[in-house]
Amino acid sequence: MQYTLVILLLPLLSFLLIGLLDSKLKPSLAGNLGTLSLAIIAALSYYCAFDYFTADRVNGVFQPVIMQMEWLRFSDSLHIDLGLLLDPISVMMLVVITTVSLMVHIYSLGYMKGETGFQRYYAFLSLFTFSMLGLVVATNIFQMYIFWELVGVSSYLLIGFYYTKPEAVAASKKAFIVTRFADLFFLIGILILSFYTQTFDFATLTAGNSNILSETAGATFLGASVLTWALALIFIGGAGKSAMFPLHVWLPDAMEGPTPVSALIHAATMVVAGVYLVARLFPVYFFYSPEVLAGIAVVGAFTSLYAAVVACVQTDIKRVLAFSTISQIGFMMVSLGASGFEGHEGLGYMASMFHLFTHAMFKALLFLGAGAIIHAVHSNEMSHMGGLRKYMPITHATFLIACLAIAGIFPLSGFFSKDEILAAVFHFCPILGVVMSFIAGLTAFYMFRLYYNIFWGEEHKHEHQPHEAPKLMTFPLIFLAAVTVVAGFIPFGHFVTADGMLYDIHIDMTVALSSTVVALIGIALATLMYRKPTQIPATLAKSSPGLYKAAMKRFYIDEFYLFVTKRVIFNCISRPLAWFDRHVIDATMDGLATITQQASVKIRGLQSGQLQRYVLVFLIGVLLAAAIAIIVYLA
């Protein structure tokens, strides 16, 4: 399967080509070049998936394909490799990334038309695609870390694409700093893990009950095993990228970037990197520190609930979608945390990956739809929309499909994946199951609140008549909608499971029925409140102003961070430090600088330009060195 290398190299090539030529390339050419290369690698990924999943199973498991070369060598056992690892989840991710990326590339041809820096935009898109692909096919955790950082950088570049807009610059900085902060823990985790296990390789790490790991599990630190610490730290890295509470603050702000970018990076691909990371190391988590796994479930559930509540009151449509993304990633995390390993026990893992797949499609669809709407009305605010269904029939239809899918209505893809997640969570802990069902209902509610506010309700006065997006933009919408409709029927358990064995999905009727009912209630409520302008939302908001305002302000998490950084860190730590710096360190430094200057004036005499002085210094040097050497010899 050597051709998979092309999948990785082609986007890099197109990045270099477009990036280096930049403004020398005609914008349309740059766009077409990027899109063409993406189309090629998408086709290759599909072929690769076909190839991989039609190969024979050995002992009931698809064999991983590893191609790698040694890169940096520290010792015989510890070296960093670069390579490609194909196994069910990485192949699945290849398909997801290339599909969504291709759609975004096509869509952007229309959406970004005429923007300054069009070529730069496509160069960055290629860079992002390259790094994301490199991340998922990494054979070892260090390679993953390198691409992880590259993904962060390209995301930073894309969020800050409109670099003349201060909000965009601030948002890109925030995203970079928050995720970098989390990555620090990730790196420490990697170092601990590799120090104790002497390997970076995923294959070695996840190879069932390997000796290295069980030995390592013995070492403890502060009451928990070292392995647990390492895994927890690694999860913090994943939580940063996947916007888990309390590291989620960057994601809503990241919506300042161009909308297709949000669809690609902040909905479908990069933000699920954390989920992917946990899935990649799942056997290690499961066998060696189930407590961390339980922690992941709790963090996921809380994040999911929190984000869903906040999403209910946001008015910027992209922010609603951002919070919905956070909430859905929470679902995936819970499902992973609740999963077992073998057979039916491993349902959660399968469900999580399945949801990752379906969510990527319909969330990208939602974002692209939102992009089309913003394109039409030139605003992100719900209050500037309303009644758009007449003007934008295609966008309307596809958006509705996506909303139904995320709400979990049969027979759309979201129904199947969410159903599996709920089943797995109920199996793990019924209370958590109830909570997650409630969140599913909330999801249906806020999505339809969004839907009605955009497409129904009171029509807003527009300066220009809103119109349907151009074909380049509607094609990806239709394609993704089609995928959303049929994806649920993919027998996902035949491809991706925790233990690699074939697993048949059964729909658990009680869970399916109850979750459908909950979703329908959510939709009904939203219909009641938002389909026509009513006083209900306002009354509700008034009846519990505290809660409403708190949710509106995203429960003050951002303010809390500001408080911590500005008040606590600046006042209590930085001020005294600044004083210390000015009066003690600076004084010392000034002194040092004076000494250095005087020294440099003094030693200037050395470089006098007089040959004979040079030779004298040389001679003194030789004699001194000889004397010292003899003293050392005698001593």
Nearer to another protein among residue 517 and residue 616 (C-beta) = 616
Minimum CB–partner distance for residue 461 and another protein (Å): 49
435 closest CA partner among 315, 595, 300, 238: 300
Residues 72-131 within binding reach of another protein (CB under 8 A):
72-73
Minimum CB–partner distance for residue 315 and another protein (Å): 43
Q: How many residues contact another protein, by CB under 8 A?
A: 34
CB 239 within 8 A of CB 247: yes
Nearer to another protein among residue 70 and residue 381 (C-beta) = 70
Minimum CB–partner distance for residue 80 and another protein (Å): 9
- Which of 58, 222, 509, 634 is in the footprint of another protein by CB under 8 A? 634
Minimum CB–partner distance for residue 487 and another protein (Å): 39
- Which residues on adjacent β-strands are paired with residue 61? 58
CA distances from 330 to 312, 418, 508 (A): 16, 12, 22
Distance of CA 267 to the CA centre of its chain: 8
H or E element: which one contains 69? strand 65-73
Minimum CB–partner distance for residue 12 and another protein (Å): 13
Residues 368-387 within binding reach of another protein (CB under 8 A):
none
Minimum CB–partner distance for residue 146 and another protein (Å): 10
Nearer to another protein among residue 569 and residue 630 (C-beta) = 630
Furthest C-alpha separation in the chain: 99
Residues 568-627 within binding reach of another protein (CB under 8 A):
596, 599-600, 603-604, 606-622, 625-626
Place of tokens 């995923």: 202
CB 382 within 8 A of CB 452: no
Q: Phi, psi (5° rounding) for residue 455? A: -100, -20
Nearer to another protein among residue 577 and residue 616 (C-beta) = 616
Minimum CB–partner distance for residue 101 and another protein (Å): 25
H or E element: which one contains 208? none
Nearer to another protein among residue 57 and residue 613 (C-beta) = 613
628 binds another protein (CB under 8 A): yes
- Which of 45, 52, 71, 393 is in the footprint of another protein by CB under 8 A? 71
H or E element: which one contains 446? helix 430-455
Nearer to another protein among residue 383 and residue 608 (C-beta) = 608
Place of tokens 């990334």: 97
Q: Which two tokens stand for residue 39?
A: 């189309």
Give exposure, 101-125, as e/b (b: 16+ Cβ within 10 Å).
bbbbbbbbbbbbeeeebbbbbbbbb
Instruction: For residues 445 and 418, give the distance between their C-alpha atoms in angstroms, rounded to a whole number.
Output: 16
Minimum CB–partner distance for residue 588 and another protein (Å): 16
Nearer to another protein among residue 517 and residue 615 (C-beta) = 615
Burial group, residue 313, by CB count within 10 angstroms (0-12, 13-18, 19+): buried
Nearer to another protein among residue 431 and residue 615 (C-beta) = 615
Residues in contact with another protein by CB under 8 A are 70-73, 596, 599-600, 603-604, 606-622, 625-626, 628-630, 632-634
